[in-house]
Structures are given as C-alpha cells and as structure tokens.
Structure 1
Amino acid sequence: MKRYIILLSLLLIYFLSSAQEKVFELEGGFLKFQSKKESYALPNQLTGDLMLLLEEGRQFHAHLLDSNYASISKITTKTIPSKYRYILGYNVDGNMYSIFFSDSWNTRFGAQTFNFETKTATNTFLDFKIKGEKYVESVVYNNKIHLITITKKSSDLNIYTFDKQFTPTKNIISLKELEYPKAGSRNNTINAYDLLLSDTGGMTRSVIDIEKIEGSNPNVIETTSKENKLYQFNNQLIFSFDYSNKKTQLSFIDLETFEALIKSYDKPSETEEGYRKSNSYIFDNKLFQIASSNQKMKFTVLDLRIEEIIKEYKVTKEDTIRFKNSPIIQEGGGILPGFSENRVREMEKTSKYLRKISSSDLGISVYKVDNEYNIVLGGTKEITTGNGYSAMNGFGGSFVVGSTIGSSTGALISFNPTFYNYSSYTTTKSTYINCLFDNNFDHIQGDIKKNGYDRLFEFEDNLNIKTKAVNIFLHKDRLHYGFFDPKKRIYELYSFKE
C-alpha cells in the first residue's frame, strides 16, 4: 500500500510539473509588507514581449520581459491619480506601453506611459469626451486600444482608435439593420442603443449590458447565458444579440476597414413551436444555438462559412439524454463545472433538467480539448449579489478591472476577461450537462478531459500558500498564472500547456 501511495504521489507530481512551466520569477518585486499588492499583464501582440505591472500601495513596479521571459528593463513610479479607477486597455509602440484609464462614470480619461528606453513614466490626462454617447467596451487589436461607444437613442456604434499621441480617430458604424418596431407603437422603434441597455430594476434603463467573451478559454454558463455578447477574433469583432426567441442577430465588424455586416440566423424556435428560452454561442467559426422549454430541448450547429446547419440534437422530457457525457449536475455558487465543493448534486430525470434550465437563463458553452468539442448545455439563476456588482479575486487594489460600482457604468471586463471568467464571485445556481463531439459533431463516448482552467485549479490547490497579487491572463495562446509568495518574497509566473 505504501508503494502504491508513493507511486500515485510521484505520478501526480509528474503530471503537475509537466502541465505547467515556471517562466519567470522576481525577488524583491514587492518591497513593503503591509500594503495591498496586485499584478497585471500587458502582452505585446506583435513581438511576444510582455509587460508585468506590480501595484503596491500607491506605487507601480513595471517590468518589461522579452518573448523568452528574460528581463529587459524596469520602472518604478507613482500610480495614476485614484479618480481614474478603471483600466480600459493599452497601446504599445516599441518599448513604450501606455495604459488607458477612466473614472467610474467614463467621463474622464487618462493614460500612463511607461518608456522602457528612458526608464521613465508620464501621465497624460486626455481632453476626450464622449458627449451624447455611452461607453460599451474596449478591445486591443494590433497593439492599439479601440474604445467602443453607442450614440444615445440611436443605432450608431462609434469606435475610437488612439495613436501614440493619444489622438483618437472616430469611425461610425451603423447598426440600423437591427432595429425593429416597438410593440404597440406606430412611430417608435427599438434601436441598437435600446438593445444594449440593461434593466437595472429602477425607473430608467441606463446601464450598458454586454458580456465580453474570450473564446480561447472555457466559458461558464454564467457568462454565456447573457443575451448580448461581444467576441473578438483577430481583426474581427462580432456583436451577438439574442433578445429574440426566434433569431440570433450578429454584427460583424472589421477593425481594419471598419465595415460592418449584419446577419440574422433562425433559432430552433423559429421553425418549431413550443420553446420558451433560447441563446447562442460562437466558437471555431460555428454558431451554436440552443432552445428549450419544460417539454423539450434542441441545440444546433451552424457553420458560419457556408451558413448551413451541419448538426442538430433534440431531446424531450420522456427521453434519456444519450448525447451527454456527465450526469445532470446542479450546483450553487461554483466557479466552473465540477469544482464547487458545496451544494452539488446529480439528477436522473430529463424532465427535471428541462424544467430547471427553462426557468433559468439559458446558455451554451463550447471548448475544444485534444480535437474534441466539449459542449456544456444548461441554465443559471442569480441568487443574490449583496452589493450590486460582481467582484473579482485579485483586484482589490486601487484600480478596478471590469466591474460596475453602484449605479455607474464601468468598464465591462475590457482589460482581462480571462481572469474575470475564471474567478467571478457571482452567486448563482446552475444546472447543466457536459457533452463530447468529434469534428463532425457526432457524439462520442468518454470522460470529459481536463482543460486549461482545470489545470489552474489543481495548480492552485497544490500551492498550499496564501498567494497575493494573483493574475491570470492569455499570452502567446497560453494561459499564464502569476502570484506573489509572501513567505519566499518572490513573484512567480507560470505558463500552462494545453
């Protein structure tokens, strides 16, 4: 038995060591004992270099690493004034990295530039206003930030691209094709501005509601169940709208030409009656759609290149779900399927599964591991948030990344959706199944394989230390995990293999 336990331990150690690689460590990165500590990462999309930003109290320690994680230069400076609380994105020009910030109302904007050639940092407070517009999101493409707004009470989407002098170029993109008549009104229409607004529970609807999706990572149902989603695939932005139970509306925007194309795709509920909820998800040039009621569920796979449905699956409440590779799982308060320690139970009846997901926010999530598609089908209910917004582990310092404070409109996961999706603290109750499919979307038997987030969880569990300044991000198509070890006084950065 002892030999067996030792062998298992050795196998576990081998697996963990082969799943990740320590790529960088820094002694003395943090100097103070009691101050709050945070870390951020700014990948250079063109060269593979990486800027690590360590925040300690009111100071920034910036480190520039080359594509092999070797240190090039470092800068220590004061943080930008605290009224600029939201990190929106960044620009890179050679060895100059400029981080864009805004206040909590997105009315004032600033940039902090780190020049690693001269080892200096400067603050620039921008004379930039978004009058008559609302902030929607920000994306970084080709090492430049693109700030997206919507003109109030219209369907004009505005994209501001900033050059190295922080001068914006504005491109206006019409989403008028999304408009449709308002029920019970002859003259009024629902426009893109209306579609992007969230019902905050008050007298007015004034908060932009859109979920930024990082398609390179697994995404939880709590994220993918949103009606409005924004995807970025290289130079292409895709806005998806699932307000209609009959159709998914997609707006394709090219960040090189700023031309837009709007497409509409029928949902299963368009051709067949009896579905109560519906939603969609985009992955690998495919549009995955789901529709359900307490009587039945259907999900379809549409190839966006040929615009044809290539596979569909349907189940009724009397059926056994033969395309699932896990039990029907219900969990509350968990972060990812299979990792909630409490309130996890399994169901047997399809009828109960259908009833649960159809009374929830319906969602579908898709991820690929070892050339197999792992598709999660389910629904989620928000139980309570207490303070009105979702917090993120590791972002307790001076700056807020991707959260909304009070009733103000904040940067919605602009800077690091990878970390947000991994460590969201939203309290939810989810019901779902895991399914496996081959490249033709034929169902295959087998266990669900571990993905990158699974390995991160195992890595965290085996650290056995109280980490600080944790940061999780994508760089060179790999997940990275950085943290400060307060016992060894070392900041460590790991890269995880697929």
Structure 2
Amino acid sequence: MKYPFLILCLVFFQSVSSQERFLEIENDIKNGNRKMHTAFSVVDDETGNFAVFLDDDNMMYGFLYSPSLQLIRRFASEGLPKKYNQIIGYSILGQKIRLFLKDKNDKTFGSVLFDFQNGSTHETLYDFKLKQEFYVEGYSNGSKFHLITMPKDSNIFQVYVFEEGKEQIKSTIDLSNESFVDNQAEPQSLNTIMSTGGNIYTTGSQYRFQVDKIDPESPNSIETTSKIVKMYPSNTGFKLTVDTQRHTYLIDVSAQNLDYTLSTIEKPYLSTTMANSNSFLLDDKIYLISSTLEEMVFSVKSLDTQEELKNIHITKHDNITFKNTPIIQEGGTYKNYRELDKTSKFLRRLANEDIGIVASKYNNHYIVTIGSKKEINRGGGMMMPGFGFPVATAGAFTVTFNPTYFAYGSYSSTKATRIECIFDEGFNHKEGEVPQNTFDKIKKAADKFPKKEAETVFKLNDDYIWGFYNKKLDKYMTYKF
C-alpha cells in the first residue's frame, strides 16, 4: 500500500517543482491520529515574524518563525469551548499573539493568547453578550483588535477595542447625521440597508447581514465580491461599502481615532428604476456594474472627484466587443463548464443572480471581471459565506480574518457566470489572452494532490504561501508562489 502513495507524492512534488518549497513544519507535539482540520497564519508587519496555527479539533498548535524561517517557539493550547468556532481576528504585541473567536450565533466572544516568549497560553471568555446589537466584522491592526457591531435599526457602529495589556474600551462611530435612502428613494437606516440592499423587505432577520473581506491586491472572484456589504481592511483603517441599486455608500474609517468620511456614489444610469448592481474598490477608483434583463452598464469613477473615467453600455441585442473570454459558466450540478452564446443569456444571469465586479492590475493593464453567482447545494457540509471551503464538522474552526484565504476559498461553492476583459491605463479595451493569476497557479498544483488536509493561503511580504497538512508524512508543507 505504500508504493502507490509514494508514486502519488512523487508526481505531486514534480508538479510543484517549479515553485520554491518554503517551509516544512514537523508537528511532533501532536498526539494521536486526529484529522488536521484548520490551518492559518498571522504575520507581524513590524518584525517580519509569522506564526502558523494548526487545529485538529482537540488541540491548537502554534509555531512562531523569524523572517529567516528560524523556529522561535512552538507549543499547544486546548483552546476555548467548542461553541467558539470562528476566528475573527487577532492582535500582536511582541511575541504575544491573541486570537479572537465568536460563536456561530454572533453573540458571545472569547480569545486565546499564545505567548511565544514564555511558552504559555491563556484563554479568556468575555463577560458581555450582544443583545440589541448585531455583529458586523472584526478588524485587526497591530496590537489592537476591533470588534464591530451595530445596534438594531441604527446608523451607529459600536466598536469594542481590545489592546494587548490594556483594558477593553468601547467606542462609537456615529453616522446618525448622515442620510441613507433605499431603492424607493425613501430614508432608511444604514443597518436595514446593509441587510436588504435597499429593498423594502427581505427574508429572515432584517438586521443580520454578511460582510465579505476584500484584499484588492489579491486575485478575487465574483463569488467573493458579489455581497452587497464589503470590507477593505488596511494598515491605516478600513473601508466599508454598502450597495443599493442606485448608490454605493463608502464609509472610510481611520484606525487611529475611528473618524470616518462618507461618500455617496451614484450608480450608472439605466432606463428602468429596477436594476441589479454592485461595486469594487481598487486604489483610487471604484468599478460599478448595473444590469437588467434588457441592458447593462459598466462604469469606472474616481473616488476623489467622482468623475466618470469609463462608461460602457450594451443591450441584450449587442455583441460584447470588450470581452477577452467567452461568456463562461462554471459550477452547477450537472456540468462544471459551459459557454453561453448570447448576450441576452448573460444579462439574464446578471439581472437575476448575485451580481459582482472585480478589478486587478497586471503590468500596465487592468483585468476586469463582470459576472454573477448563484448558491448551489452540493450536499455535505454547509458553506461559509464567501468561502468555497465547507464549514467543517463540529469542533473545527473557520477563519474569516484573512482576506487572502477568503478570496482563495471562494471558487467551488457556487455556480458562477462571467466575462473577463483587459483594459489599458486609459480604460481602452485591449485584445489578448487573460493571464493566469497566482491563485490559478496554486489551484493547478493543488488539484494534482487531492488528499490534503487544512489547506490555506496567506501573504508574506510580496509572496503567496500555500500550505496543506500531509498526514502520511505528519508535516505541514508550504510552497512559495
């Protein structure tokens, strides 16, 4: 039985031989044969140290490395009770890394401190529970972690700030003096708009919503960017976008003092009042898409001036002359790949499904993806919002603080339809083949080695690190792309 496995390993290692082997982590502090469920990494931007955490549903193992890949320390923690199953952020102070967790109902919170200097852990259950507040997201910034919530039917963000070595404080980002309108141009609370996209009604809770974290510098897919609420975290703060049919509300929050600026950006004009639309931020520009069954408009605007830099309008009778790929549909129950031949079929998808747009830079060009996605039931585990990885069985963690992992895991849980387009710096369409992105290369290597556990991707400096747990070798293998 050993020989087929060795042959498989040989084929795999040959398939990634063009990539630099980054780090092999021997987990000899692990006891038993439990499956390795989860892996993730935390990077210290100040020191260059990075930690890799592995979880096997019984223990969480932490490994801290220097920038030169020297192991500083490793040890394990029993972690928190199993109901705390989502890791939403972290704080770093020297060689202390605190991981913040929540329960599946978004009500109770806790943390696990890995003190790599002393080789000890400390578990904390926080003594507050959200009642009339709704969890929005977590934001990590150095030694601080921000737990962001919203009171019911309000324009206010409550921010619980956890700073290592200090008492927890509660701050407020108050947008009560700002104006927000729904799709009928009626005044509405931001909380309600975030959960409905400006519609009059919605199914389920009117105040709960999903937020996708976005790293614009990483490859992103329609699956990742089609939510109506998106967070773009950075070292200086975060941007939160909320999309309705006619507007994108952009809330830019400073990490230093939690001040904000609000921009209300008009969507491209369509002849009907009802349209499906979304947006995407990249650098100092916003990319906008609006569609009905009859027509579609793609627009690019400056965030500073809101000047429109590009506007492309097509109807269902037009050919899409600015695309560099066929109209591609991937996923689905019966056929994983097909090409649509008519613009009308493409607009039908955009109008009726979760519409999205993505932009990225490649050399001196922009790659723009326009499309939509539809959730499908593949059986098995439930899918985490924004992820292609299933929510694992009871006890396993999901990790939502890493937008790179968020983006990489977004390919396989949906049926998605898209076109990809190349534009120059002046947003003139350019002919040519759309280049492979880094995630395409990683997935090509990963697909050749199907039996892997705890797959993850994270950014380290200018590189992407892909890793998985090899149970036979009892090692965590990582490669640099």
User: Normalising by the residue count of structure 1, what TM-score does the alignment of the two structures yield?
Assistant: 0.84
SS at match of 1:217: coil
Native 8 Å contact 1:274 1:293 kept in 2: no
Q: Please give the alpha-carbon distance, in whole angstroms, between the structure 2 residues aligned to 1:30 and 1:313.
A: 58
Summarize the Cα distance change of 1:388–1:157 in structure 2 as closer, same or farther, 3 Å threshold: farther
Unaligned runs of 5+ in 2: 1-11
Higher mean C-alpha deviation, range 303-312 or range 279-288: 303-312
Native 8 Å contact 1:110 1:123 kept in 2: yes
Q: Which residue number corresponds to residue 310 of structure 1? A: 309
SS at match of 1:268: coil
Native 8 Å contact 2:147 2:160 kept in 1: yes
Higher mean C-alpha deviation, range 29-38 or range 135-144: 29-38
Deviations 1:161-198 (A, max 9, x none): 2111362222211223143489699xxx5212212336
- Equivalent pairs: percent with the same residue? 31
Q: Which residue number corresponds to residue 358 of structure 1? A: 351
Residue 268 of structure 2 is aligned to residue 268 of structure 1: yes
Q: Which residue number corresponds to residue 189 of structure 2? A: 191
Alignment length (residue pairs): 460
* One-letter code aligned to 1:281: F
Summarize the Cα distance change of 1:318–1:394 in structure 2 as closer, same or farther, 3 Å threshold: closer
Q: 1:305, CA displacement in angstroms? A: 2.7
Residue 478 of structure 2 is aligned to residue 479 of structure 1: no
Q: Which residue number corresponds to residue 257 of structure 2? A: 257
Q: Please give the alpha-carbon distance, in whole angstroms, between the structure 1 residues aligned to 2:329 and 2:356.
A: 14
SS at match of 2:269: helix
SS at match of 1:256: coil
Q: Which residue number corresponds to residue 221 of structure 2? A: 220
Q: 1:364, CA displacement in angstroms? A: 0.8
SS at match of 2:370: strand
Native 8 Å contact 1:219 1:365 kept in 2: yes
* One-letter code aligned to 1:328: I
Unaligned runs of 5+ in 1: 1-11, 335-340, 403-412
Q: Please give the alpha-carbon distance, in whole angstroms, between the structure 2 residues aligned to 1:190 and 1:298.
A: 26
- Give the alignment partner of residue 451 of structure 1, picking from 430, 433, 437: 437
- Give the alignment partner of residue 201 of structure 1, picking from 203, 212, 218: 203
Q: Please give the alpha-carbon distance, in whole angstroms, between the structure 1 residues aligned to 2:287 and 2:135.
A: 28
Q: Please give the alpha-carbon distance, in whole angstroms, between the structure 2 residues aligned to 1:151 and 1:53.
A: 33
Q: Please give the alpha-carbon distance, in whole angstroms, between the structure 1 residues aligned to 2:214 and 2:104.
A: 22
Q: Which residue number corresponds to residue 327 of structure 2? A: 328
Summarize the Cα distance change of 1:15–1:460 in structure 2 as closer, same or farther, 3 Å threshold: closer
Q: Once superposed, what is the RMSD of the aligned Cα atoms?
A: 2.8
Summarize the Cα distance change of 1:13–1:313 in structure 2 as closer, same or farther, 3 Å threshold: farther
Deviations 1:385-430 (A, max 9, x none): 768942453863734325xxxxxxxxxx3x2333233224774332
Q: Please give the alpha-carbon distance, in whole angstroms, between the structure 1 residues aligned to 2:185 and 2:424.
A: 47
Q: Please give the alpha-carbon distance, in whole angstroms, between the structure 2 residues aligned to 1:200 and 1:169.
A: 34
- Give the alignment partner of residue 396 of structure 1, picking from 373, 392, 399: 392
Q: Which residue number corresponds to residue 279 of structure 1? A: 278
* One-letter code aligned to 2:470: D
Q: Which residue number corresponds to residue 44 of structure 2? A: 44
* One-letter code aligned to 1:68: S
SS at match of 1:207: coil
Q: Which residue number corresponds to residue 128 of structure 1? A: 128
Q: Which residue number corresponds to residue 108 of structure 2? A: 108
Native 8 Å contact 1:465 1:485 kept in 2: no
Residue 342 of structure 2 is aligned to residue 345 of structure 1: no
Q: Which residue number corresponds to residue 372 of structure 1? A: 365
Higher mean C-alpha deviation, range 275-284 or range 247-256: 275-284
Native 8 Å contact 2:74 2:116 kept in 1: yes
Q: Please give the alpha-carbon distance, in whole angstroms, between the structure 2 residues aligned to 1:17 and 1:388.
A: 33
Q: 1:286, CA displacement in angstroms? A: 0.9
Q: Please give the alpha-carbon distance, in whole angstroms, between the structure 1 residues aligned to 2:35 and 2:24.
A: 20
Deviations 1:314-339 (A, max 9, x none): 222232211110011122249xxxxx
Summarize the Cα distance change of 1:95–1:326 in structure 2 as closer, same or farther, 3 Å threshold: same
Residue 167 of structure 2 is aligned to residue 167 of structure 1: yes
Q: Please give the alpha-carbon distance, in whole angstroms, between the structure 1 residues aligned to 2:103 and 2:344.
A: 48
Summarize the Cα distance change of 1:221–1:92 in structure 2 as closer, same or farther, 3 Å threshold: same
SS at match of 2:61: strand
* One-letter code aligned to 2:327: I
Native 8 Å contact 1:268 1:298 kept in 2: yes
Q: 1:310, CA displacement in angstroms? A: 1.2
SS at match of 2:404: helix
Native 8 Å contact 2:183 2:246 kept in 1: no
SS at match of 1:470: strand
Higher mean C-alpha deviation, range 102-111 or range 138-147: 102-111
* One-letter code aligned to 2:203: G
Native 8 Å contact 1:29 1:61 kept in 2: no
Q: Please give the alpha-carbon distance, in whole angstroms, between the structure 2 residues aligned to 1:40 and 1:357.
A: 34
User: Normalising by the residue count of structure 2, what TM-score does the alignment of the two structures yield?
Assistant: 0.87
Native 8 Å contact 2:381 2:392 kept in 1: no
Deviations 1:288-333 (A, max 9, x none): 0111222221111112133311122222223221111001112224
Native 8 Å contact 1:146 1:160 kept in 2: yes
Summarize the Cα distance change of 1:431–1:370 in structure 2 as closer, same or farther, 3 Å threshold: same
Q: Which residue number corresponds to residue 453 of structure 2? A: 468
Q: 1:461, CA displacement in angstroms? A: 2.5
* One-letter code aligned to 1:197: S
Native 8 Å contact 1:30 1:56 kept in 2: no
